[in-house]
A = this chain, B = another copy of it.
Amino acid sequence: MTESIFTTNGLTLSIVLALVGLGVAVVLIRKILASSAGNERMGQIAGAVQEGANAYLSRQTRAVSIIAALMVVAVYVARGGASAIGFIIGAACSLAAGYIGMTIAVRANVRTAQAASVSSHSALKVAFNGGAVTGLLVVALGLLSVAGFYGVMVKLHGTKEAIDALVGLALGSSLISVFARLGGGIYTKAADVGADLVGKNEQNLPEDDPRNPATIADNVGDNVGDCAGMAADVFETYAVSLIGAVLVGFLTVKENATAALAYPFVLCALSLIASILGIGYVNFIKQKSATAALIGGVGVAGVISAILFKVATSSMFPAEVAGKLFNCALVGVVLTFLVVWITNYFTSTHHAPVRRIAKASETGHATNIIAGISVGHHATLMPVLLIAASIWGCYEWAGLYGIAVAVVSMLSMSGIIIALDAFGPITDNAGGIAAMSGLPAGVRQITDELDAVGNTMKAVTKGYAIASAGLAAMVLFGSYVEDLKAYLPGVTMAFDLNNPKVIIGMFIGGLLPFLFTAFCMDAVGNAAGAVVRNVRDQITKFPGILTGKDTPNYKECVDIVTKAALGQMTVPALLPLVFVIGTAFLGKEALGGVLIGTIVTGLFVGIAMTSAGGAWDNAKKYVEEGNHGGKGSFAHQAAVTGDTVGDPYKDTAGPAVNPMIKVVNILAILVIPIMVKLKFFF
């Protein structure tokens, strides 16, 4: 067969479509900025949130830059100049994705509040488009940076060197995303928990009350955590999966090798079109509910992706191979839908798990907590079985490369999925702005309804990210092994469970998610304590704050959370580094064990924490809707406890497990040449 245009020009196609994606993002940005930003009071509040968010991100960027600079040197020494440049590109794009996404979010929030005074559908559109910008930016930047850098490197140094350099790009994006997820996650929950503890519990102020000095910090947190942190995280997941697939394609596929190298890029490029069409669907086709509109958008993107994948696959590969590879790509799309559906089941107020937690709140705080933890554990069953089945099917069809194709296909849908996720913090903020600027109650009701939808959508994205990590584990481990083979030609590679070093590695690796999440939870507690102390101080010094006579010093509080979050993120962020480098000295088998051990426990810890957190949050919402006694009842108090416990679960510790797993895997690949040189790997 003659070579398909997808094979010969796949890279060019993906660069062109990435630019189209960026163009659409620009159109959306203009559309959002063109809509009304409300009255002056709203503008002041939104301005304070913007200022706080910018202040945090620029300080975070400075803090991370120091570590990143040290890492660039390390990468240069270990892997050479091309990898070091890749590292810088990966880190910069990861930062940029978060930064631009957040910049739009802090402008979309106030416009959503304003649109909510017109209609629910207008508010949905503004908020969704704000999220869609982030979604498009993440995938377009991801595709552009990987494809562009790879294309240039191939021209300059050839394929082998280009692929080596991609590992640097992967590490850059991973490292930034761990910091962004952690710093943002600690920030958002410290402000949230701190504001609640002192505002709701001690002073009996309602949520988002302008008299609470921590209220602006709380709203800033939604942006730096759920927008910027999440965007950096998914950018990393997207880029690393694509790079992993290219790596595995290059190292393991011998027939149709050129097509196999182009295929992951083509999948991403085509899916980007599908995401744009899905975004169009939400904008132009009016649905009866927000959930229907959003899920409809994902459905449109999924079906179009599948059709385009079929066309491209058939044109790129001989019939028999094409059939099998298309199956793998389809697995990625179907898995996305199933994970979304399962997470929705476990975290939405319409199904048994959340209602069980709400019911358990009737007998008190403890039974609420026990029910929530149990729901989290139960939530691991189906995703893990599906991941196992996917691994099996794809491997049977096309080996390790088949799994890589499924991962890329799954993550190629990130654009539309992120749009759903970023929608949540925007509506949350819109509600805050509406409350603080005294808009009519009807506005707040619309934003609250959208926020409840946003809660479930946020849980869904986290489930999606961590499930993709489970599937990607085999690919990344495979990359590690194949890269080892390249550095140690002729050495047999065996990672047998009979080898005690492998088992030791797995124990050490398995430890990492437990220790990491423990530090994350401690960090939130410590940072929240700092918030509580500051708010108490302010109220003691200026008692007029509570009567509305004095204006609280919002900025001081923002400043304190910023410092605390950045201070607290260092230890957990450096854990993977310590574990990987420490175990590397025990040999390549132990390090291989670490990779698998981390994913085995990390997958469960991640799913359990994000699901339980989402379920607790919505159980509280369900009680607040008037069930089991409604607001102010004993059950409500217990449900609030569950929600607070769920905060660091679902927004700090749980989601940070995903980038942590990736950092471990990529660091392992990165240390190979050093350890071979030092004769610890032989």
Contact = CB atoms under 8 A, between A and B. Distances in A.
Contacts of A481: 498
B600 A645 contact: no
B497 A374 contact: no
Interface in A521-557: 521-522, 524-525, 529, 532
A242 interface: no
A432 interface: no
Pick from A371, A375, A529, A596 the residue with the most CB of B within 10 Å: A596
B495 A378 contact: no
A604 B500 contact: no
Contacts of A640: 366
Interface stretch (A17-25, A98-106, A382-390): A382-390
Given A378-B515, A501-B392, A532-B363, A525 B604 contact: no
Contact of A525 (B371, B376, B504): B371
Pick from A525, A642, A648 the residue with the most CB of B within 10 Å: A525
Interface stretch (A118-126, A128-136, A408-416, A505-513): A505-513
Interface in A582-597: 586, 592-593, 596-597
Contacts of A403: 500
A407 to B, nearest CB: 13
Given A363-B532, A497-B596, A601-B600, A388 B641 contact: no
A641 B366 contact: yes
Interface in A347-400: 360, 363-367, 369-371, 373-378, 380-381, 384-385, 387-388, 391-392, 395
A71 interface: no
Contacts of A518: 373-378
A182 to B, nearest CB: 15
Interface string A621-660: 0000000000000000000111011001000000000000
B370 A645 contact: yes
A449 interface: no
Contact of A507 (B370, B494, B603): B603
A132 to B, nearest CB: 34
Nearest to A360: B525
B604 A511 contact: yes
Nearest to A521: B374
A338 interface: no
Given A495-B496, A498-B478, A514-B380, A504 B392 contact: yes
A460 interface: no
A600 B524 contact: no
A474 interface: yes
Pick from A366, A525, A641 the residue with the most CB of B within 10 Å: A366
A503 interface: yes
A668 interface: no
Contacts of A593: 497
A78 interface: no
Nearest to A644: B366
A365 B388 CA distance: 38
B604 A385 contact: no
Interface string A590-617: 0011001100110110001000000000
A384 B508 contact: yes
Contact of A497 (B365, B376, B502, B601): B502
Contact of A514 (B363, B377, B395, B501): B377
Nearest to A495: B497
B498 A380 contact: no
A392 B593 CA distance: 14
A431 interface: no
A398 B193 CA distance: 53
A470 interface: yes
Contacts of A494: 494, 496
A377 B517 contact: yes
A240 to B, nearest CB: 18
A603 B381 CA distance: 19
A477 interface: yes
A446 interface: no
Nearest to A648: B370
A506 B395 CA distance: 16
A473 interface: yes
A270 B506 CA distance: 34
A197 B364 contact: yes
A201 interface: yes
Contacts of A370: 521, 524-525, 644-645, 648
Given A364-B197, A510-B601, A391 B500 contact: yes
Pick from A381, A503, A593, A596 the residue with the most CB of B within 10 Å: A503
Nearest to A607: B514
Nearest to A595: B497
A611 B473 CA distance: 30
A380 B481 CA distance: 29
Interface string A59-89: 0000000000000000000000000000000
Given A384-B508, A504-B391, A600-B506, A365 B363 contact: no
Pick from A201, A381, A481, A645 the residue with the most CB of B within 10 Å: A645
Contacts of A364: 197, 201, 641, 644
Contacts of A600: 506-507, 510, 597, 600-601
Contacts of A365: 365, 641
30 contacts: A193-B366, A366-B642, A367-B525, A370-B645, A373-B521, A374-B525, A376-B518, A377-B521, A378-B515, A378-B518, A380-B511, A381-B511, A384-B507, A385-B511, A388-B507, A392-B501, A470-B507, A473-B503, A474-B500, A477-B497, A494-B496, A495-B496, A496-B497, A497-B497, A497-B592, A511-B604, A597-B600, A600-B600, A600-B601, A601-B604
Interface of A: 193, 197, 201, 360, 363-367, 369-371, 373-378, 380-381, 384-385, 387-388, 391-392, 395, 403, 470, 473-474, 477-478, 481, 493-498, 500-504, 506-508, 510-511, 514-515, 517-518, 521-522, 524-525, 529, 532, 586, 592-593, 596-597, 600-601, 603-604, 608, 640-642, 644-645, 648
Name the 10 nearest CB pairs between A and B, nearest first: A377-B518, A366-B644, A495-B497, A395-B500, A388-B504, A365-B641, A374-B521, A365-B365, A377-B514, A510-B600
